[in-house]
């Protein structure tokens, strides 16, 4: 068997994309076999975060608070916005190209004839780096679902499901009940198993019960209350612990309080292994950064970047936009993938958008500008829709047409937001 070798990360990523015929191949046998061949085991706590939306924000807050408390933290998230290295960070700094290539080489050597997907390679590389660099804790974001996701081959100390919405139906099922079974697959017997969805499907509770996991639900076992005119909040758990006068997280949007509440519950569940102080929590919440999650950029007109790409996230985006105060007009820059519920996303936001600037992000599975325009006009026949060849041109048009008091909302896909960030020179 010939073993691939290259010095550059770009060459490796091209190789990985060509390697496995199916981009998403659910099942753990292959990746587990390679893990074992590499003798790759975490000798440190692993915090596994699943959920339809909000996973990345939860990972960002957890990592920031743990770093503030003095721990060396490995964080694995996906997808990336601009650079692959964003996926694997140590103490908030993406690892180098050379480090990732080292890990890819080790995986390539160990896998023999076993085929691995792009995501499986990345997941093994993340843990390989965390072990090599001696982290104190790994914060791992599930890629898709949970039960059969590559992240699930590493035993979690605490597992959490942030939310259960409809996305990736062809892999996870077309109802919240079916999707919840996949997400609850990250839970473990006797281990803390958290859920921050205010209405968890019964199937999630059933899986947790069958496993004998220590299930902790928001609103029942932990929760939060607003204080001081909505400028502070308090957190509580079922044991009677209360944490008062907590600052709002630096991440914008009302929904981030729900995420922050889960973060405190995760930290509470691993307090024995990873103690953090109230001061660490407060500072971490104030200092956390996570781009493109209702990120409001400085300057006029106001520009909002949000990677919302399913109806659950669109509903959250709508609520966050409604909390922003008055803007005469809202311009949308929209680009989406064909396999998403495009009509579901558009119908939730249609009455908040005055002008649509639509384009296809530069990749094969993007929906065409014409198909986006057609769906918008079917939902609101009076809508003003303009089509462009590229996302950068759509964004430029929005900037040219918006007055200072207006706002521009960029959403629909990670790729759409990334192309706008590049156009802005970020």
- Compute, in degrees rounded to 10, the torsion defined by CA atoms 72, 159, 274, 28: -50
CB 194 within 8 A of CB 164: no
Query: Strand 232-237 and strand 242-247: pairing?
Result: antiparallel
> Which one of 261, 287, 313 terminates a domain?
287
Cβ atoms within 10 A of the Cβ of 131, count?
Answer: 19
Q: Is the pLDDT of residue 420 over 70?
A: yes
Residue 223 to residue 421: CA distance in whole angstroms: 35
Q: If DSSP states are collapsed to H, E and C, what string results for 76-94? A: ECCCCCCCHHHHEEECCEE
CB 372 within 8 A of CB 394: no
Which string of b and e fits 149-184 if b means at least 16 CB within 10 Å? bbbbbbebbbbbbbbbbbbbeeebbeebeebbbbbb
* Same domain (yes/no): 209, 136: yes
State the angle between helix axes of 311-322 and 255-269 in degrees (0 to 180), rounded to the nearest 10: 110
Q: Is residue 283 part of a domain?
A: yes
Taking only the tens place, the pLDDT of each residue in 300-345 is 999 999 999 999 899 999 999 999 989 999 999 999 999 999 999 9
pLDDT confidence band for 173 (50 / 70 / 90): low
pLDDT for residue 165: 82
* Same domain (yes/no): 231, 154: yes
Q: Please list the residues that pair with 75 across neighbouring strands.
A: 89, 139
% pLDDT > 90, the chain: 89
> Which one of 229, 260, 287 terminates a domain?
287
Strands of the 330-334 sheet, one edge to the other: 295-297, 302-305, 407-411, 330-334, 355-358, 384-387
* Same domain (yes/no): 339, 192: no
User: What value does the mean pLDDT take over residues 381-393?
Assistant: 98
pLDDT for residue 230: 79
Q: Is the pLDDT of residue 23 over 80?
A: no
Mean pLDDT of the chain: 94
pLDDT confidence band for 171 (50 / 70 / 90): low
Q: Is residue 200 part of a domain?
A: yes
Name the DSSP class of 337. B
Q: Is the pLDDT of residue 52 over 90?
A: no
Nearest to 175 by CA among 204, 195, 147, 198: 204
pLDDT for residue 18: 87
Phi-psi region of 211 (alpha: psi -120 to 50; beta: other; left: phi over 0): alpha
Count of domains for the chain: 2
pLDDT for residue 197: 96
Q: Is residue 1 part of a domain?
A: no
**Can you give the CATH number for the domain in which 248 is found?**
3.40.1190.10
Domain of 411 in residue numbering reads as 295-423
Strands of the 222-227 sheet, one edge to the other: 222-227, 232-237, 242-247
State the angle between helix axes of 97-111 and 29-37 in degrees (0 to 180), rounded to the nearest 10: 100
Taking only the tens place, the pLDDT of each residue in 183-205 is 999 999 999 999 999 999 999 99
Name the DSSP class of 413. -
* Same domain (yes/no): 271, 389: no
Q: Please list the residues that pair with 407 across neighbouring strands.
A: 302, 330
Residue 238 to residue 258: CA distance in whole angstroms: 17
User: What value does the mean pLDDT take over residues 102-122?
Assistant: 96
Residues in the chain: 426
What does 271-310 look like in DSSP terms, one character per residue?
TTTS---HHHHHHHHHH---TTSSEEESSSSEEEE----S
User: What value does the mean pLDDT take over residues 210-224?
Assistant: 98
Taking only the tens place, the pLDDT of each residue in 242-283 is 999 999 999 988 889 999 999 999 999 999 999 999 999 999
State the burial class of residue 3 (Cβ atoms within 10 Å of its Cβ: 0-12, 13-18, 19+).
Answer: exposed
| Cα angle, residue 60 at apex, residues 54 and 63 outer, rounded to 5° | 135
Nearest to 78 by CA among 50, 103, 106, 111: 50
Q: Is residue 43 part of a domain?
A: yes
Report phi then psi at 11, rounded to 5.
Answer: -65, -40
Q: Is residue 2 part of a domain?
A: no
Q: Is the pLDDT of residue 287 over 90?
A: yes
* Same domain (yes/no): 267, 394: no
Q: Is residue 3 part of a domain?
A: no
Nearest to 360 by CA among 320, 413, 402: 413
pLDDT for residue 17: 87
* Same domain (yes/no): 311, 372: yes
Name the DSSP class of 218. B
User: What value does the mean pLDDT take over residues 66-83?
Assistant: 97
pLDDT for residue 109: 97
**Can you give the CATH number for the domain in which 391 is found?**
3.90.190.20
Cβ atoms within 10 A of the Cβ of 146, count?
Answer: 26
């Amino acid at each position: 068997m010939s073993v691939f070798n290259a010095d550059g990360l770009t060459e490796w990523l091209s190789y990985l994309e060509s390697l496995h015929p199916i981009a998403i191949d659910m099942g753990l046998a292959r990746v587990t076999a390679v893990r074992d061949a590499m003798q790759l085991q975490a000798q440190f706590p692993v915090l596994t975060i699943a959920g339809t939306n909000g996973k990345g924000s939860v990972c960002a807050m957890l990592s920031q608070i743990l770093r503030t408390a003095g721990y060396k933290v490995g964080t694995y998230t996906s997808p990336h916005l601009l650079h692959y290295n964003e996926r694997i960070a140590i103490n908030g700094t993406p690892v180098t190209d050379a480090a990732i290539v080292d890990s890819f080489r080790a995986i390539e050597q160990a896998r023999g004839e076993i085929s691995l997907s792009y995501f499986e390679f990345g997941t093994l590389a993340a843990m390989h780096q965390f072990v090599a660099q001696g982290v104190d804790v790994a914060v791992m974001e599930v890629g898709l679902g949970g039960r059969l996701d590559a992240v699930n081959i590493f035993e979690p100390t605490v597992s959490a499901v942030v939310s259960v919405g409809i996305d990736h139906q062809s892999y996870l099922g077309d109802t919240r009940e079916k999707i919840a079974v996949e997400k609850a697959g990250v839970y473990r017997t006797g281990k803390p198993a958290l859920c921050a969805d205010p209405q968890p499907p019964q199937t999630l509770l059933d899986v947790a019960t069958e496993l004998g996991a220590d299930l902790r639900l928001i609103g029942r076992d932990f929760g939060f209350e607003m204080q001081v005119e909505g400028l502070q909040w308090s957190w509580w758990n079922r044991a009677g612990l209360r944490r008062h006068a907590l600052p709002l997280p630096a991440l914008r949007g009302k929904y981030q309080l729900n995420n922050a509440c889960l973060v405190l519950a995760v930290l509470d569940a691993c307090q024995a292994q990873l103690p953090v102080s109230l001061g660490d929590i407060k500072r971490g919440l104030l200092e956390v950064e996570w781009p493109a999650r209702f990120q409001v950029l400085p300057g006029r007109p106001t520009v909002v970047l949000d990677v919302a790409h399913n109806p659950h996230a669109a509903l959250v985006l709508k609520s966050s936009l409604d909390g922003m105060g008055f803007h005469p007009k809202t311009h949308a820059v929209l680009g989406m993938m064909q396999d998403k519920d495009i009509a579901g996303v558009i119908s939730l936001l249609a009455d908040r958008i005055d002008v649509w600037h639509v384009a296809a992000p530069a990749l094969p599975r993007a929906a065409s500008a014409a198909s986006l325009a057609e769906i918008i006009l079917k939902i609101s026949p009076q809508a003003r829709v303009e089509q462009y060849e590229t996302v950068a041109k759509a964004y430029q048009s929005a900037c040219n047409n918006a007055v200072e008091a207006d706002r521009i909302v960029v959403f629909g896909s990670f790729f759409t937001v990334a192309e706008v960030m590049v156009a802005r020179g970020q």
